[in-house]
């Protein structure tokens, strides 16, 4: 139980495996042009100012990039992410359907909805994401797809 001096962090989204175990924390920001170094410092700041549940995956989602830490130890240092993913090929079909130009600003709420739609499709997919599609290869290589398949994605109240 956190002390009064600790703030319980609310994540934008949380992912659970098929047995209901928390395995993924997702933080979504509508910022662009971030670097792995900047994101590592930002992640360290977030984790230092809240209660961080021990989870194997931590994903930061930005308009143009995803940053994934696949770290069983849930380190609180400024380690750079294990995976830096170009989000543009993933988001582009959703932006097009919504009539959003990828070079325009998008609200965090809209980005969260778009990410949730895409990721929920991944969770409930009957087959692995296409191995030939490099934009989604990181899901397989990191083990995240195997961990989340058949699980769920939850929106956190008060995120």
- No. of helices (H) and no. of strands (E), the chain: 5, 6
Q: What is the pLDDT of residues 32-45, one digit of tens each?
A: 889 999 998 888 88
Whether residue 82 is contained in a domain is answered as: yes
Q: Does residue 92 sit in helix, strand or coil? A: helix
Does 123 have pLDDT greater than 80?
Answer: yes
The candidate with the shortest Cα–Cα distance to 140, out of 152, 128, 123, 132, is 128
Overall domain count for the chain: 1
Q: Quickly state the pLDDT bin for 48 (edges 50, 70, 90).
A: confident
Residue 153 and residue 123 in contact, taking contact as beta carbons nearer than 8 Å: yes
Q: Quickly state the pLDDT bin for 132 (edges 50, 70, 90).
A: very low
Domain containing residue 84:
13-155
d(CA 140, CA 46): 27
Whether residue 3 is contained in a domain is answered as: no
Whether residue 1 is contained in a domain is answered as: no
Whether residue 56 is contained in a domain is answered as: yes
Whether residue 115 is contained in a domain is answered as: yes
Does 143 have pLDDT greater than 90?
Answer: yes
Whether residue 124 is contained in a domain is answered as: yes
Strands 83-86 vs 152-155: parallel, antiparallel or unpaired: unpaired
Residue bearing the bigger pLDDT, 46 or 123:
123
Whether residue 85 is contained in a domain is answered as: yes
Whether residue 2 is contained in a domain is answered as: no
């Amino acid at each position: 139980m956190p002390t009064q001096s600790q703030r319980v962090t609310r994540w934008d989204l949380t992912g659970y495996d098929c047995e209901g175990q928390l395995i993924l924390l997702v933080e979504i920001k509508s910022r662009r042009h971030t670097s792995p170094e900047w994101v590592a410092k930002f992640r360290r700041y977030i984790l230092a100012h809240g209660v961080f549940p021990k989870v194997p995956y931590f994903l930061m989602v930005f308009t143009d990039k995803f940053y994934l830490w696949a770290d069983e130890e849930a380190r609180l240092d400024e380690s750079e992410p294990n995976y830096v993913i170009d989000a543009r090929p993933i988001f582009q079909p959703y932006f097009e359907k919504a009539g959003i130009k990828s070079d325009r600003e998008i609200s965090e709420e809209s980005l969260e909805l778009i990410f949730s739609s895409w990721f929920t499709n991944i969770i409930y997919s009957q087959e692995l994401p296409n191995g030939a599609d490099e934009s989604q290869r990181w899901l397989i290589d990191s083990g995240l797809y195997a961990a989340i398949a058949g699980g769920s994605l939850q929106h956190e109240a008060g995120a």
